[in-house]
Amino acid sequence: SHARISVDADRPIGSIDRRMYGVLVEHLGRCVYTGIFEPDHPTADADGFRRDVMELVKELGVTIARYPGGNFVSNYRWEDGVGPVAERPSRLELAWHSIETNAFGLDEFMTWCAKADVEPMMAINLGTRGEEDAINILEYTNGVCSTEYADKRRANGHEDAYNVRMWCLGNEMDGPWQVGHKNAEDYAYLAGSTARAMKMIDQDLELVACGSSAWEMPTFGDWERTVLELNYDEVDFISMHRYVDPDTQDRASFLAAGYDMDRFIEGIIATADAVGAKKRSTKKIQISVDEWNVWRLSKWNSIEHGFDPADWPVAPKRIEDVYTAADALALGGMLISLLRHADRVKTACIAQLVNVIAPIMTEKGGRAWRQTTFHPFAIGSRIARGTAYDAVVETASTPTERYGDVDQVDAVVTWDKETGTGSLLALNRSLTDSADLTAALASLGVSRVIEAQILAPADLDAVNTADEPDAVVPVSHPVAIADGVLTTTLPPASWLAVELG
């Protein structure tokens, strides 16, 4: 088939926030321990951080890291993780049924962020805790006066405040699995009073209220409305979490994960704006997609989730999904959707960073490698910056069981005026048909192709492993450009990334 892309240079979608390329670092399984932190590892630096992982994190292009959870945060006492390591208590960790040793905590995370050149984004515990602990942790991280918690930070060797800007008011509080789960109204009151207290310390903090942990949640919509009706002036972001499970749908629907993401994001925008309209507010609530990924959640729920009640392991293997080539395509499609909503999606965190449903895998004491999903994220972070433009695509449709007919080709275009570079990201969702693509990009000032890479796997089930880490990698792809018109062919089931100049 043929696909024709046009872009209106005078009507950008919006600027792409640098925080679009975030990750979640949760105390879950081996994300922290034997993931980013392993003092005994041959590559460990003086702080115990794995250098091999650090290099991959930099290559991945991570800009912001949400910490320490995830579900973990809702039963976490942050003070356990600061001060002399030998004096830190071990605790039962309820969310993932393990022992938390607290060998790694807030200060270690901040040091890791500084070394990785990543902005920290903190989540606070609104499951078992409330306003007082939120104020205390804020004082510890950001306090500049001589007060108890700021002085503790100094005593722990961190003279300068960390000045953390983004704070999540709890995690997935709509989920019955969450420790301290609440109904929308109870959460909204707690989030609001916590937000007000935090903003009494620093009114410029960027606060994220919990939205829905999935689109399928029965409370979706009403939850966001209730939370925002009570807190429209207090918060800046509403969160959304989106995981797609390849095992619960046909492959064509799975490759249309971006279509599903579009509808979820647009549902939240509609809900948030309806609240804003009723309040006659000029303020727009932004969206923090602070967990998104492919996750074989049905497998986790049915097979792995049977925690042995007597077993409380330290840093066990938990949800270490191995990603296929098809997963990388779906993730690339979800990234296109996020960029298409760059006017409202200002933060997005792939969940998670290492080992736990992650782009980076490690062996304890051994190797580190890139999963298939590493590649679309890393390429996006490197080339899709600046301003997002709506790529209007005239394309054939392709059938899916879940969504009916969807556009065969989905795409987004970005352009960064400062560097004079940009990108075209395009997904061919058809499992059977190639697409001859033309894209009219002259109005943006595009004149050349710097590089074109494609994921067009011969085997959609192929995976990367420690022994075969490069089984699925992007390869260079022929793309021509003449008078600002780009031409190429997209093979079936492929994700193309063109760096433009």
Binding region for ligand AHR (CB under 6 A): 24, 26, 28, 69-71, 171-172, 213, 291, 351-352
Nearest to 455 by CA among 470, 468, 465, 467: 470
Integer Cα distance of 231 and 188 in angstroms: 7
**Three-state DSSP state, 240:** strand
Integer Cα distance of 256 and 262 in angstroms: 10
Integer Cα distance of 444 and 423 in angstroms: 11
Contact 353, 359 (CB under 8 A): yes
Nearest to 344 by CA among 65, 50, 20: 20
CB closer to ligand AHR out of 26 and 79: 26
Neighbouring CB atoms inside 10 A of 432's CB total 8
Name beta bridge partners: 286. Answer: 237
CB closer to ligand AHR out of 70 and 120: 70
CB closer to ligand AHR out of 71 and 494: 71
CB closer to ligand AHR out of 213 and 430: 213
Smallest distance, ligand AHR to C-beta of residue 20, A: 18
Residue nearest to ligand AHR (CB): 70
Structure tokens at 13: 């979608």
Which helix (H) or strand (E) segment is 109 a member of?
helix 106-116
**Three-state DSSP state, 475:** strand
Integer Cα distance of 394 and 389 in angstroms: 15
Integer Cα distance of 475 and 477 in angstroms: 6
Smallest distance, ligand AHR to C-beta of residue 59, A: 22
Smallest distance, ligand AHR to C-beta of residue 216, A: 13
CB closer to ligand AHR out of 358 and 456: 358
Neighbouring CB atoms inside 10 A of 225's CB total 16
What amino acid positions are annotated as catalytic residues? 172, 291
Smallest distance, ligand AHR to C-beta of residue 171, A: 5
Q: Give the DSSP letter of residue 480.
A: E
Burial (Cβ within 10 Å: 0-12, 13-18, ≥19) of residue 412: buried
Smallest distance, ligand AHR to C-beta of residue 348, A: 14
Smallest distance, ligand AHR to C-beta of residue 351, A: 4
- Please report, as a single letter, which amino acid is at residue 210: C
Counted residue by residue, the chain has a size of 501
CB closer to ligand AHR out of 210 and 379: 210
CB closer to ligand AHR out of 69 and 258: 69
Nearest to 440 by CA among 407, 476, 394, 397: 394
Helices 222-231 and 184-201 pack at an angle, to 10 degrees, of 40
Smallest distance, ligand AHR to C-beta of residue 268, A: 17
